[in-house]
Structure 1
Amino acid sequence: MASGELFRPALGQAAQLGALYDARSDTFVSQPRSLFKQWPPADAVDIRLCRSTDVRTVEVRTFKERCAQLEVDVELGGSILAGLVPVGGCARYLASPNTIRGAHTSLRYNVTTVDERLSLATPGIREQFAFDTLQTDIATHVVIGVRWGANYIVCPNSPGDTGCDKTPEALAIQQLGQILSRPTPGWLEEPAVTPEEQYGFSWSELSVFGDLLSENMPASDNARFQTSRGFIKGLHQRISTTNDAKGTPIQYTLLPLAFLGYFQLLNIRTNLTVHPSNPDSLERFMQHFDDAQTASATLQRYVSRCQRYPIAVPSNHIRDVGKQLQAFIAANKALRVALGRVLRELRSTGVDPDRLGKLLGDFHARETPSFEIRSLAKFTAKMDFVKGILDEGAQYVGFKGRRLDSLLAQNRHDDVYILYFTDAVRRNSEIWADTRNLFSELLKNDHRPKMVVAVDCDALGQSLEKPYICHRRHDRVFVEDLLEHRKVLAVNCVMQYNAGSLDATLTSKPLQRRAVRIPCPHFSCDGTLPCNWICATCQSPVEYGYVDEQLYCECGATPFDCWTFKCNDPTHGSTWASYDKQVLHGQLKDLEPFEDLNILILGETGVGKSTWINAFVNYLTYDSLDDAIQAGRLECLIPCSFSTQLKDPNNPRGRFVQKDIKMGKSQFENDGARGQSATQCTAVYGVTIGKTRVRLIDTPGIGDTRGLEQDNRNMADILKVLRSYDKLHGILVLLKPNAARLTVMFRFCIKQLLTQLHRNAANNIVFGFTNTRGSNYTPGDTFKPLEALLAEYKQVQMGLFEHNVYCFDSESFRYLAARQKGIDMGLVEDNTRSWSRSVSESKRLLKHIRGLTPHQVRSTINLNETRDMIVKLTEPMALIAQKIQTSIAVNNDQVRMLNNAELSRSQLEKSLYVQRETVESYEVGDPRTVCTHGDCVEVRNDFAGRDETVVVYKTMCHRPCYLGGQVKRNQKGDPKLKDCQAMYSNGFCSGCSHNYLDHMHIYYDYRPLTYRHENKDVSKELIKHASDIELQQEAIRLRETAIAEFKVEHAQVQEAAIQFGFFLKRHAIEPYNDATIEYVDHLIQQEKLKVKSGGKKQTLSILEKYKAEHLQKVEALTRAMARGDIDIVLDDQGARQLVDSLYGLPHFGKDLQKIVQVNEMAADAVFREKSCNVSAGQHWGRKERPRNRPRSVRGQPDKPSSSPAVPSPATTGQVTAPRGDAAGPVNQPRGEWDTYVRGAAAKALGYFTSKWR
């Protein structure tokens, strides 16, 4: 081989000897086409027969490896990538979409027939040149050799991503290679093929790229390749019948034109130097385009699949991915053009050889990288899951298609199993695999007809902590979490009730309940070993109602003899055992009662009450942080949320990122993550310490983020729950340790708490400080302001002492919660000490509370019921007082008229009556949706000649409204009003155009009445016998008597207000919340700032009006207290007797009572206790009974259990909040500030309250 010769594969391009070639663009020159005028001289061409075949089977992954299969070097490969070189024949393999998707097995079959060589040393050859001088750089090389034959490439139609050498297609290609490699009887004759090899594989799965295949035919010419023999025969025939059996050019030998100048065959007057490119840079380009093509192909297939599964993928995701894909393809197309341009320039000039690297670097810095494009295909695994469950027969509720309610409405089966999941929990949840397997099991099990549904909560806009399968039976939830239910059944002693015997409507449980701790009745179990039993359905402890002989769990109440039992002893097996009724009755009667310890937990919103309860339960369970970590289980009774900041390990500058940690879910709770108060209503959590049932009464925070009105609703809700209990053993007031000053909110919260408590409760109040690690486990800066505030209550001698101050630190619980989520917050030693300190304080707290004389809840309930009664009387008393004054004025006018006017006898006869003005409250029947906006209400004068007004709702937006009990009564802006038929989907009313927040449901209203009292018998007798003067005097006497009686009743109403004020002063720790003005001033300042920023003045005006009315009430109450000190002291009974005396007023008592009866909704006791499946660990000193064989007693493990917690749906390691009424008191607020104004009209009423009940 002569020095400087270049061998270049033909790649489907046809050229003859003498053809001119430009190595800078790797293309043949079109004009002039050849070095010769016509054809090279025959005597200058050497033709040599060189018949051979070559078979090469390799595994190919990259473009570079595909080039190597066709003997294309890096330089030429770069030109192909840049689009400089058109490819044809077998080289179509380099550009086929099927070959750029990933790894595959590739077979190259090369047939060589003839070599042709041009000899430039032949005499006279120069005269045959088309020119003797080359003055332009149009070409750099000339073809001096052509090798003939044919090349074929065989590869799979659909290459895989990895492990391609074991696929059926790869094995077929390897077998074909073996056949082609066998010796044949003659040139291009068929090798021996066995019958198995003849039909051993399907050609429809293979693609063939060949030099002698038609360019217009598809890459896989499969119709003609039905068998191996047919394939080989077809290839050989094409060669034998083409170009006199030479085939087609498969390789060219190129000689630099500069050599002709050296040999003086051609006069070269231009620079023909070709500068090679940097091979490393070209290989990086090859790798880039490999990645880009793979990413594009992957994403194109992904988008196509998304369009086939719209139920699984948000439509906006498909659009966004499509746009990004098109932009990515366009950017890479532009990069190919730029690469071609730079290659030509570099090869021509050699200037700045690093330009290729710069070009690629700039592209990577500017455009989206391939790995990010591939990452857009984030729903691939989800679509695999959806396809799988659809193939198995499941229904699917997602972004398109049917909704869950319509599926349930059309269900004809008793049982429905619903998988709730999100893509996040599908990818990240540790229990996803178990949940998926259980779901498949349900689909495959056809033992009982059922509907099986998967609900994509992403499509519903809902987030989940974990996936779960809900079992519904007869349109009711039967098992909330089937997987956890099965786990509980596997490791606990469980009881199962007869579904037909369950009473799920109960609203309370008897206080005298005893935990069912009896032996298992199964014949193989130890009849002397008591077990702790839980319900198989709700997993809560089963308790025996000693007074009514019912068994209670969170499902409801059931007769004691309607249960079967299955303990966790391995010898028990899978059968359920039952007791003899009399034996079971005796066992239950012998149960020992629990000692109760009821602890009310109060505090400001955000102080961490719910977190403290969660932490306390874990302190109860685990003696140390190490024990809790080893158990791998977090007890979470209440939803809990917090954030922590960590350094981003992927950021070189150590940027901090925020991690949100959420645990738990309940209909009564928020997680507090967005500034909303976490606890939404009072809830009771019962945990067991030995033989003591500790009830932790969690309450909504004072200073609720929803406003002052919600604070009062919350306090009423607390009292409703407390009615279920006789005693309060402790009242824990939680505080933060860093309140250095008596802030408005601090004072408001403490005084609001004390307002609600009877004086007798003072000894039971203890103070707990949260997160005290930073204050060295002391009250910290809060001590001084709290001490100063408590010093104001000299009569109850409240203070801060060792016995009533407890310093906790919940940071160790947060550390454990974060660790459960895979987040390491560090400082493990500090958290270990924090845990130990908090366990110690928890034990000290319970020991102290056990030693206190319990506070009789009835005292506080009576106080607040009386206060509530006073509050309910306030508005009616104000209205009645106003009407008494009106009645007095009307009758005085009539007396003056009788004295001064000359009336006829007929007129005198008609004046023998007394006129009484009053008001009544009336129910409006079906609730009406009315608008309270200023534009939709009107103040009317309904009494001729009297300056008396009533508020009239002009706009009845929906009458009647059929939402009924879903909407809270007389409360403005209830969220359920958005569902009212009058509301558009955007929350605005179709009738008045105001927002739903300005609307409310009214159930009652007021209307004025006028009565004329007349004794007809007396009047008839007078008319018959009396003179005109006597008639006039009798009419005057009637009115003067009535006026006197009216004044007496008015004075009695005023006196009652004063006595009520004194009652509150005498019996409450704090008679009224005198910090309210500070709080309202604080709100007014905030509103003023809003007004300065362009906000509306409406709220500011309401607050200022509210403040003025409040000051009037405080003034009246102060006067009432000052006077009450010298009068007879009212007790609870006296207050009630005073109310009865008001109802007994001769003229206005019945009216007052009727108004209260219509307005009032009974504040019944609400039972909201949850018996949690949590018990103290052995570090609390519980003594366990020795056992003769292993059997776990649920809730009393011998060591910290490592079994998973029993969460409710969408939770991790939690027990759901208790069932019961929704948050808020039964008697709903009026919902408008002008309601307060109406109530404030009674200036004689001394009691201030900020909410009507």
Structure 2
Amino acid sequence: MEHFKNKGKKGPAEKDKNLRAVKGKFQDWKEKAQELFEASSFMGGNTGKPLFQREHSLFKQNLNLQKGGHSVYNLVLTSAYADGLYKKYNFGPSNLRKPKKVIMMVGETGSGKTKLINLLVNFILGVKAEDGYRYILIDEKINQNQAHSQTSDVNIYQLNHMPGFRVPYSLAIIDTPGFGDTRGMGEDNHTMVKLKECFTSVFGINHIDGIYFVVKASTNRLTVSEKYVFDSVLSLFGRDIKENIQTCTTFADTGRPKALGALIEADVPLARKPSGTPVFFKFNNNFLYANDFDDDDEEDTSEAFQKCWDSGFKSAQKMFDALENLDTKSLVLTKEVLIERTQLEITMDGLHSKIQEVALKQTEMTRCGQVLRQHQKDIQNNGNFEFEQLVTIKMKTDAERNSINCRECEDTCHYPCRIALDCMIGLCEVFTLRQVCRLCEHKVSSHVTEKQKWEHVVKRTKKTYVTMKQRYEEASKERLTTEMVFENLERELNEVEAEEMKLIERAAQCLRRLEAIALKPNPLSTLDYIDMMISTEKREGKLGFHEKIESLEKAKAKIKCLSTLS
């Protein structure tokens, strides 16, 4: 009987569950109502009109680009930030209610990256195939045979969400300059400097959701320039970004793009499906403005156009759907990689001059010992026996930019440096968290910032045996025989070699750390760096270059041994 009395009655847990369900439905209804209200307010009741007709101030018709019977409208952008290395632009009023996604587009010059970005913008802003208008975010001459990159700066385009967007979030697009154009590797290196600043500046990017490598679908094998694109950009990011790296193939027809095989062969890390297949999206860039569909047979042209449109926008839909499911990544690790790369570069730069100095000293001391042993009888008969020696002289010269100079060792530890005030000197990357210099190992307090730097100049001088003997006697505080002088010389030579190995070990530790946290190791290894030093010495042919090369070759052998041991 009690059972029938309670039948139909709901317990507290079930009542609470139902209440939450009702509240959830109400919240959904409330949000939809709010969106409709915002849409009607934003559009002034013109819910069926395209964006350029609803908000005239956000678009400007481009009379020079009326292609394929379509009116073309440029998005009106407002500058948000510019510092000479990267620029930020906003499209539309800020929308704090919507989440923000950040993607970066990277590709070689001529890969079709700019057209692809414009295609994605048309998709986002709700353009349909039958519409008589198109949008352009990045203005370029359509169908131009590109030798120079259309993009020269790192630009961040913030598309703030508004009613009519096909995606439920605001989107920031980081557009990088095309790599590998006719201006050479120097321009590519400058691009990497810009990207570094973009990811480390307080006004830059604090998170990223997707990195899209843009390659032509027909690519059978990556070119040297394309490999440089991938290796350089990947070296900026930490390992946790791997699952956010995806591929966009351009100028694609039906079937599996050949570029996937090229990327896999080049060992480019890519996000993969559960089946192991790389995640990729195919696009045919030429359909957007219908320029390449001029044909006598209008029916065939229309059919081909519609097919390309549907395929391209379907890929765009898949791309943005996948983007929603990617975990947003903090750039903390990326900043760590960039900071350590900078520290490595500073260390290697310091290593360059120090190894040069030590290399010369090592070779000259070895030669000095050989000369003195060959002339022992002459030395016994004449204490003022002279011999020639190459020495490194330090000279302080005026500099265009700031230097971090050590007062104790009278040497430049970092040049050029962005720090201009002594009170802020500890912020320089040359110092560790313990405020010790990575190069000379002296404390911050021993350093100053000034527009002067120490130069190392090699000079040929004459020295006497007596002078050298007196120096060793002052150090040991005892009278020395000729044999004891040789022993001191050998001991000093060992100290010089130990100093050289210490510098090499510190650089190697930095390289190993970089390999541990970076997706790809730094393209410039220690051996590559020393090879570059040897090439520089040969090319410049300055006084003492033979002696330096001899010692640098020994340093290479030591590094190879160090690499084997590690």
TM, length-normalised to structure 2: 0.56
2:330 paired with 1:850: no
Any conservation in 2 of the 1:620–1:839 contact (CA below 8 Å)? no
2:120 paired with 1:613: no
Give CA-to-partner distance per residue, 1:1083-1124, whole Å, 9 cap, x none: xxxxxxxxxxxxxxxxxxxxxxxxxxx99739989xxxxxxx
Summarize the alignment of residues 14-53 of structure 1 with structure 2, pairs less than 5 Å apart: none
2:5 counterpart residue number: none
Aligned to 2:100, what secondary structure does the other structure show?
Answer: strand
Structure 1 letter corresponding to 2:306: T
2:156 paired with 1:684: yes
Q: 1:1072 to 1:917 in 2, by over 3 A?
A: same
1:1062 counterpart residue number: 512
Structure 2 letter corresponding to 1:738: S
Summarize the alignment of residues 420-569 of structure 1 with structure 2, pairs less than 5 Å apart: 465=64, 541=92
1:1235 deviates by 8.2
1:641 counterpart residue number: 141
Q: 1:734 to 1:902 in 2, by over 3 A?
A: closer
Any conservation in 2 of the 1:787–1:800 contact (CA below 8 Å)? no
CA distance in 1, matches of 2:541, 2:290: 47
1:769 counterpart residue number: 249
Q: Which has the larger share of helix?
A: 2
Q: 1:675 to 1:885 in 2, by over 3 A?
A: closer
CA distance in 1, matches of 2:240, 2:541: 31
1:621 deviates by 1.3
1:605 deviates by 1.9
Aligned to 1:675, what secondary structure does the other structure show?
Answer: coil
Aligned match of 1:841 in 315, 320, 325? Answer: 315
Summarize the alignment of residues 907-1056 of structure 1 with structure 2, pairs less than 5 Å apart: 917-918=391-392, 925=399, 1007-1008=456-457, 1029-1030=479-480, 1036=486, 1039-1056=489-506
CA distance in 1, matches of 2:507, 2:522: 14
2:210 paired with 1:730: yes
Q: 1:623 to 1:542 in 2, by over 3 A?
A: closer
Q: 1:1046 to 1:798 in 2, by over 3 A?
A: farther
Any conservation in 2 of the 1:601–1:733 contact (CA below 8 Å)? yes
Any conservation in 2 of the 1:879–1:919 contact (CA below 8 Å)? no
2:388 paired with 1:884: no
Q: Point out the structure with max Rg over C-alpha.
A: 1
2:172 counterpart residue number: 695
Q: 1:722 to 1:793 in 2, by over 3 A?
A: closer
1:693 deviates by 2.5
1:761 deviates by 1.6
1:684 deviates by 1.1
1:731 deviates by 0.7
1:728 deviates by 1.5
Structure 2 letter corresponding to 1:608: G
Aligned to 1:701, what secondary structure does the other structure show?
Answer: coil
Aligned to 1:1071, what secondary structure does the other structure show?
Answer: coil
Aligned residue-pair number: 407
Identify the range of structure 1 (761-770 vs 592-601) with the bigger mean alpha-carbon deviation.
592-601
Aligned match of 1:1113 in 528, 539, 559? Answer: 528
1:613 deviates by 0.8
Q: 1:799 to 1:707 in 2, by over 3 A?
A: farther
Q: 1:926 to 1:635 in 2, by over 3 A?
A: same
Any conservation in 2 of the 1:768–1:808 contact (CA below 8 Å)? yes
Structure 2 letter corresponding to 1:1050: E
Any conservation in 1 of the 2:147–2:182 contact (CA below 8 Å)? yes
CA distance in 2, matches of 1:725, 1:922: 40
CA distance in 2, matches of 1:1022, 1:716: 52
Structure 2 letter corresponding to 1:609: K
Q: 1:1232 to 1:838 in 2, by over 3 A?
A: farther
Aligned to 1:712, what secondary structure does the other structure show?
Answer: helix
CA distance in 2, matches of 1:503, 1:813: 29
2:189 paired with 1:709: no
1:906 deviates by 8.0
Give CA-to-partner distance per residue, 1:115-140, whole Å, 9 cap, x none: xxxxxxxxxxxxxxxxxxxxxxxxxx
Any conservation in 2 of the 1:607–1:735 contact (CA below 8 Å)? yes
Q: 1:1021 to 1:921 in 2, by over 3 A?
A: closer
1:1047 deviates by 1.0
1:814 deviates by 2.7
1:809 counterpart residue number: 284
1:601 deviates by 0.9
CA distance in 1, matches of 2:489, 2:472: 19
Q: 1:1021 to 1:766 in 2, by over 3 A?
A: closer
Any conservation in 2 of the 1:811–1:831 contact (CA below 8 Å)? no
Summarize the alignment of residues 592-607 of structure 1 with structure 2, pairs less than 5 Å apart: 592=96, 594-607=98-111
Unaligned runs of 5+ in 1: 1-463, 467-483, 495-501, 512-537, 544-590, 644-671, 928-1002, 1075-1109, 1118-1230, 1248-1253
Aligned to 1:635, what secondary structure does the other structure show?
Answer: strand
1:797 deviates by 7.6
2:379 paired with 1:902: yes
1:763 deviates by 0.6
CA distance in 2, matches of 1:680, 1:1116: 32
TM, length-normalised to structure 1: 0.28
Structure 1 letter corresponding to 2:141: S
CA distance in 2, matches of 1:828, 1:921: 74
Give CA-to-partner distance per residue, 1:492-550, whole Å, 9 cap, x none: 9x9xxxxxxx9998789999xxxxxxxxxxxxxxxxxxxxxxxxxx996566xxxxxxx
Structure 2 letter corresponding to 1:732: Y
Aligned to 1:706, what secondary structure does the other structure show?
Answer: coil
Q: Which has the higher contact order (CA 8 A, sep 6+)?
A: 2
1:890 deviates by 3.1
Summarize the alignment of residues 1232-1243 of structure 1 with structure 2, pairs less than 5 Å apart: 1242=552
Structure 1 letter corresponding to 2:217: P
Summarize the alignment of residues 1194-1233 of structure 1 with structure 2, pairs less than 5 Å apart: none
2:10 counterpart residue number: none
Unaligned runs of 5+ in 2: 1-62, 66-72, 163-167, 402-451, 561-566
Structure 1 letter corresponding to 2:185: L
Any conservation in 2 of the 1:624–1:836 contact (CA below 8 Å)? no
CA distance in 1, matches of 2:187, 2:538: 13
Any conservation in 2 of the 1:600–1:697 contact (CA below 8 Å)? yes
CA distance in 1, matches of 2:169, 2:395: 49
Give CA-to-partner distance per residue, 1:932-952, whole Å, 9 cap, x none: xxxxxxxxxxxxxxxxxxxxx
Summarize the alignment of residues 224-303 of structure 1 with structure 2, pairs less than 5 Å apart: none
Aligned to 2:211, what secondary structure does the other structure show?
Answer: strand
Q: 1:593 to 1:806 in 2, by over 3 A?
A: same
1:826 deviates by 8.4
Q: 1:593 to 1:924 in 2, by over 3 A?
A: farther
Any conservation in 1 of the 2:514–2:521 contact (CA below 8 Å)? yes
Structure 2 letter corresponding to 1:1049: E
Aligned to 1:814, what secondary structure does the other structure show?
Answer: coil
Structure 2 letter corresponding to 1:736: K
